[in-house]
Amino acid sequence: MSPKSEKKVPPGQEPIRAILRWGIDHHGISNEIPRISPEKWALTVEGQVENPFKLNWKEFLELPHVESSNDFHCVEGWSVLDCHWKGVLFKTIAERAEPKKGSDYVNFECSDEYTTSLEMADLMGEETMLAYQLNGKPLAPELGGPVRLIVPSKYAYKSPMWVTKIVIASWKLLGFWELRGYNDRAEAWKNMRFDRRLRQ
């Protein structure tokens, strides 16, 4: 057994090599992988904020960026270890937008019409980012490129791919998978996979 496979992972998870599953299981809500060239991509940030704004690709890359290595956990039971991401911290986006008092939730919209939401407090960590590179290469469309959210402590359905809009609000919406019975907290290390109330 390799050192990577011996690494501790959350309960119910098994380490895999990325080429086995990652990038082939999820083809967008419409069963097609969105293929957006960086030149045509834009990010809209709006809602209950003092400074709504929109960024094109060049403007996005001009923001301060960070790099971070962490593991990626899918609710289906597999984990890809030691992913090296490069991107813009979510808190950099939030600080620029200046959320109004009581705006404690963030709703994400994607180019394939996927949605999810998180609490603002869950997004302000030093590893939570809008990523545009993985392992030194531009993020491929199959993995959510040109830009996806990465929230390492949660299952991957809380790390939406192909992000195009961020809505900061005092209310939250249950996203695509949450409405279908997946746990809204999605804490990987607490094995929070399903919400039985919604699955009945």
Measured in whole angstroms, how far is the alpha carbon of residue 148 from the centre of its chain?
5
Domain enclosing residue 149, as ranges: 9-28+41-199
Tens-digit pLDDT profile for residues 99-151 = 999 999 999 999 999 999 999 999 999 999 999 999 999 999 999 999 999 99
Give the integer Cα–Cα distance in Å for 48 and 63.
Answer: 22
Give pLDDT, residue 17: 83
Please report whether residue 34 resides in a domain: no
Take residue 109 and report the two structure tokens written for it.
Answer: 């919209």
Total domains in the fold of the chain:
1
The enclosing domain of 128 has a CATH number of: 3.90.420.10
Closest CA to 34 of 186, 163, 167: 163
- Find the mean pLDDT for residues 88-103: 98
Q: Is residue 122 part of a domain?
A: yes
Residue 4 lies in a domain: no
101 φψ region: left (φ > 0), alpha (ψ -120 to 50), beta (else): beta
What are the tens digits of pLDDT across the range 28-81?
A: 676 788 999 999 999 999 999 999 999 999 999 999 999 999 999 999 999 999
- Predicted TM-score (pTM) above 0.85: yes
Closest CA to 39 of 55, 54, 53, 56: 56
- Domain assignment present for residue 36? The answer is no
Residues with Cβ within 8 Å of residue 20, at least 6 apart in sequence: none
Q: Which of 43, 24, 42 is nearest to 33 (CA)?
A: 24
